[in-house]
A and B are shown apart, each in its own frame.
Chain A
Amino acid sequence: MSDNRRAILSLAGALVLLHLVLALFGLWRDWAWPAIGVSFILLVLVCERLGRMVPARWRATYERALALGFPLLVLILWQLGARFGLINPLWFPPPSEIARALWEVSVNYDRFSGTSLLGRPWLIPSAWAEGGLPAVGALLSESHLLATVGRVLAGFLLGAIPGILVGVVMGVNQTVRLMLDTSLSAIYVLPKIAIFPIVMLMFANPFGEGPKIVVVALAVFILMAINAMAGVRQIDPVYLMAGRNYGAGPWQLLRHVILPGALPVIFAGLRIALGTAMIVIISVEFLRAKQGVGYMTYYYWEVLVPEKMYAGLVVVMAMGVAFTALLYWLQRRLMPWRR
């Protein structure tokens, strides 16, 4: 107990002392990065000892504090580092700048391209009063965020549903599996963005929404077919025997045994497919789009406004988090037996 306390005090003291001594000799600026590395190690050691002193009932709180506190500390240091010229603000604009840029891109309307990040939702009441639903639609259609969300959702559904169907058929039927597995595995390793030009060729309007949604759908399709197949194949055969023995016909077997049995793997696949869908849509928007969060991010790189580029990345992350939360919610609804 007191041993722990003494160790924490001496480690924390060493941490402070290190920086004071470096500052005193005017070496701090040159030695900042090694000092930060050593500080991190000392901090880990301090927190380890701190963790040992935490009683069991505060354990969860302590773990949450550590999990959220450290990123917060990094943000603060990042802010200070950028302010005092330790890190190049062109690469790493300080968090306060990014937050301000995020606010700006959220409230601003770009007259030149006719776009805004959110579609200016605060104008909805007046638009509704003037032009009703079409006016509101026109307002929202200027949104980068909604454009990307729409493409991801459409592509995801368009890929996931047929993908799961094909995967389940492959899992159940060996002949279909043998015929398709090789091709699917081959297409799986192909970066989907490489197919984008071909997909564009297939559409009357290569620059419209069609090709963008289809590449996302294709990527999700392949992944979900492979996952659903694996999900069906890992079902313990004894469940299939039990299903048949208790009188289930083919469709009942599918509904009561095969689908629920494969669901855990299917959901794991959906989470991976979501990440892939985000990669694909952002790359597509980098490449060829006049709207979307990816387009916006790339645009601010081209005009060299890094803090707004970062604002775009923050939006991408927020989207990913929101979609993942949605999937978890769906998973809890569809798989109540998993807690």
Chain B
Amino acid sequence: MDDTVATPWKIRAQSVGKVYDTAAGPFTAVEDFDLTVGDGEFVAIVGPSGCGKSTVLRMVAGLEDVSSGRIEIARGSDPGKPTNSVVFQEYAIFPWKTVIENVAFGLQMRGISRAERLDVARHWLDRVGLAKFAEYYPHQISGGMKQRVSIVRALANDPEVLLMDEPLGALDAQTRVVLQEELLRIWEETRKTVLYITHSLEEAVLLGDRVVLMSAQPGRILDIYQIDLPRPRSFETTNLPAFADYRARIWDKLSAEVTRAMEMQP
């Protein structure tokens, strides 16, 4: 287990726990969660479904309170920057706003002038090849395009850290690969601090500087793997022997966890 970072930390979670108050009594979703994410680091979290990954992310985002422990996000020099922006699995781009209005949403909420925020949004749409769909409504574009919009909505907001909750989970396999490469390219250019949740081990190894493996019920960190694959990475990276090594090593533990999680299901 390796939870030391060389660079100054950007996200720090210390013995975080989450207990939901349910009708059936208290339910411990997350327990003893300790994680430090360095500045500019890409950390991927994998674990069986229902193990508390989304709960962790929502707590880091401040959308949910922690029951115990603490979570901090280090602020940079610019106090106007938002601390975090979330990319949701279900896209969560507003159906009633056009593509460009969606991308400019965070800036609009911060009171940035219309001309300026549309400029920023157009720049980002250009970078993911969506410029000509700027005036479309979400129902007029494909799932892959929607998730691109959702990703650049977060990037246009220029947050301290980017939080992604299974952003490619709902896409078909081909679109997924295309978007993984696009993510790698953009991350290479921006070097944002990213906390990335996925249920795909390949995706975690391909994207992450480190992979955090979580256990099922209650969600705990089982292990953290340093992924020393060369950057810049691309789909080609998945052909490296080292990639297969990492995948095999983590899969051993993950598969045991998935089986355990399934057996715990009523």
A-B interaction? yes
Number of B interface residues in the complex (CB < 8 A): 26
Asked if B94 and A246 make an inter-chain contact with CB atoms under 8 angstroms apart, the answer reads: no
Given the interface contacts A241-B86, A337-B139, does A246 sit within 8 Å of B96 by beta carbon?
A: no
- In Å, the complex CA distance between A257 and B94 comes to 8
Q: Are B109 and A239 in contact (CB under 8 A)?
A: no
Q: Contact between B86 and A247 (Cβ–Cβ < 8 Å)?
A: no
Instruction: Contact check, A239 vs B63: say whether CB atoms are below 8 A apart.
Output: no
Interface residues of A toward B: which range?
20 to 34
Any A CB within 8 A of the CB of B105: yes
Q: Interface readout for B95-132 with A: 1 if CB under 8 Å, 0 if not?
A: 11110000001100110000000000000000000000
Which residues on B sit within 8 Å (CB–CB) of A336? 137
Q: Is B194 an interface residue (CB 8 A)?
A: no
0/1 per residue, B56-80, Cβ < 8 Å to A? 0010011100000000000000000
Q: Report whether A261 and B92 are in contact in the complex, using a CB–CB cutoff of 8 Å.
A: no
Q: Given the complex of chains A and B, what is the CA–CA distance between A244 and B83 in angstroms?
A: 13
User: Does any Cβ of A come within 8 Å of B147's Cβ?
Assistant: no
Within the assembled complex, what's the spacing in Å between the Cα atoms of A239 and B106? 13
Q: Are A245 and B96 in contact (CB under 8 A)?
A: no
Contact assessment for B85 and A337 in the assembled complex, using a CB-CB cutoff below 8 Å = no
In the complex, how many angstroms separate the beta carbon of A129 from the nearest chain B beta carbon?
Answer: 51
- Cα(A244)–Cα(B106), bound, Å: 10
Contacts of B58 in A (CB 8 A): 241
Is B137 a contact partner of A337 (Cβ separation < 8 A)?
yes
What distance in Å separates the Cβ of A182 from its nearest Cβ neighbour in chain B?
Answer: 22
- Chain B residues lying within 8 Å of A246, measured Cβ to Cβ, are 82, 85, 105-106, 109, 153, 157
The reply on B90 being an interface residue by CB < 8 A is yes
- Cβ contacts A249-274/B at 8 Å (1 or 0 each): 10010001100110100000000000
Verify if B133 is at the interface (C-beta below 8 Å from A). no
State the CA gap A241–B97 with chains docked (Å).
16
Residue among B58, B105, B139 with the highest chain A CB neighbour number at 10 A: B105
Q: Which 6 A-B pairs have the closest CB atoms?
A: A260-B96, A247-B109, A246-B106, A242-B92, A337-B137, A238-B92
Residue contacts A-B, CB under 8 angstroms, 7 given: A238-B90, A238-B92, A242-B92, A245-B85, A260-B97, A261-B96, A337-B98
